[in-house]
Amino acid sequence: MIPDQVWVSASQWLPPTAEKTADALADGRVTAAEADAMGYEQLPVSDGESAPEMAVRAAHRALSRVGASAEDLSATLHAWTYYQGHDFWSPAHYVAAGTGAHRAVPTGIQQMCNGAAAALGAAVDHLAAGEDTAPVLVTTADRFAAPGFDRWAGDYGVWYGDGATAAVVARAATPDDVPEGALTLSALRTRAVPALETAHRDVGTFHPAPHTSSAAVDVRRTKKAFLAAHGKPEFLGRLRRETSEVLADALSDAGIGGDGRKLRTVLLPRLGRATARDVYGPAVADVTDAPVADLGGRTGHLGAGDLLSNLTALSAGASPHRLERGEYAAVLSAGAGFTWSAVVVHRP
């Protein structure tokens, strides 16, 4: 149960440089079939800034947007999926220090690409558990740089973009105290099927150090072995069922019926046209007739950041997906392991 008047205000920071799909196609990094299945135009690429450095940028934007001070934060939660720039280190503490949150308690969240949802849930629990009404900061950041990661070909059906997101999460005393542009949180539901973790693991052995089995992350290798053992139709069917059930639970919590009359849109994880068509679109249609949208055309999959990037689009002034007063939207999230979350937000 979400406490009353919990609001979230999200922002993002994406690198100003990008790699175009047309260039990747011309260079042979992707095939025409892959480009058609993905349907994305470009991927943002950091030329030098690490993931935690980008997270600090996003954090300052999020705080500035609602006029919050980093000194007033009670906790900071940083989520990521891939290498943060050092081997034996806490990126969450770096983000807190760089943001100026010197009185907050930093915590790292590792739930792969569902990390933002996990961090958002932890923030809500933090606000509900104590008398401290100070806001919580959630950040995500990933940089999928060579030579350790091939953003175009390291995975099946997923292209990875660099970037960071952030959100200030707090509880207002009254509805009138919710900041302008912030969204109130109506529901947050999560489901998991831990047995599916083998889709991203070499089942024959555990490795003693990173990149022991290959010079770069090779998700295709582990997924190929998993699908050979378990079957692709069964796997995709499970993804669809779990997505439908977590969305149905969240809409029920928010008091929204299946006809979609109170739901403006459902925003999908940024996993491309084919995945939206074959998995997430049908999963949503099983629950509601609200329209769906994949906003990854110029970002690709942002690792742990898809959820907060989508929340940013729902509140950004220039976004065509911006909610008007009184409107609701749902945002889906998913991560390896596997874990699924559905968030329902409202613009008061």
Domain residue spans of the chain: 6-182, 184-346
229 pLDDT higher than 80: yes
Angstrom distances, CA of residue 188 to CA of 116, 179, 251, 263: 12, 20, 9, 15
d(CA 228, CA 231): 6
Instruction: Tell me the C-alpha distance between 284 and 270, whole Å.
Output: 15
With a cut of 80, say whether residue 317 has pLDDT above it.
Answer: no
Q: Do domains 6-182 and 184-346 have the same CATH topology?
A: yes
What is this structure's pTM? 0.96
What is the fold of 6-182? Peroxisomal Thiolase; Chain A, domain 1 (3.40.47)
pLDDT reading at 131 higher than 70:
no
Per the CATH hierarchy, to which homologous superfamily does domain 184-346 belong? Thiolase/Chalcone synthase (3.40.47.10)
pLDDT tens-digit series, residues 249-292: 999 999 998 787 789 999 999 999 999 999 999 999 999 999 99
**Mean pLDDT score, 313-335:** 93
- Tokens 């099927």, residue located: 193
Q: Tell me the pLDDT tens digit for each residue of 23-72.
A: 999 999 999 999 999 999 999 999 999 999 999 999 999 999 999 999 99
Can you name the residues that pair with 137 across neighbouring β-strands? Answer: 76, 168
pLDDT at 258: 79
Partnered with residue 78 across adjacent β-strands are: 108, 139
Residue 109 phi, psi dihedral angles, 5° rounding: -120, 120
* Helices (H), ranges, the chain: 21-26, 32-38, 51-66, 91-99, 115-129, 219-230, 232-254, 273-275, 281-285, 306-315
How much is the pLDDT for 316?
A: 85
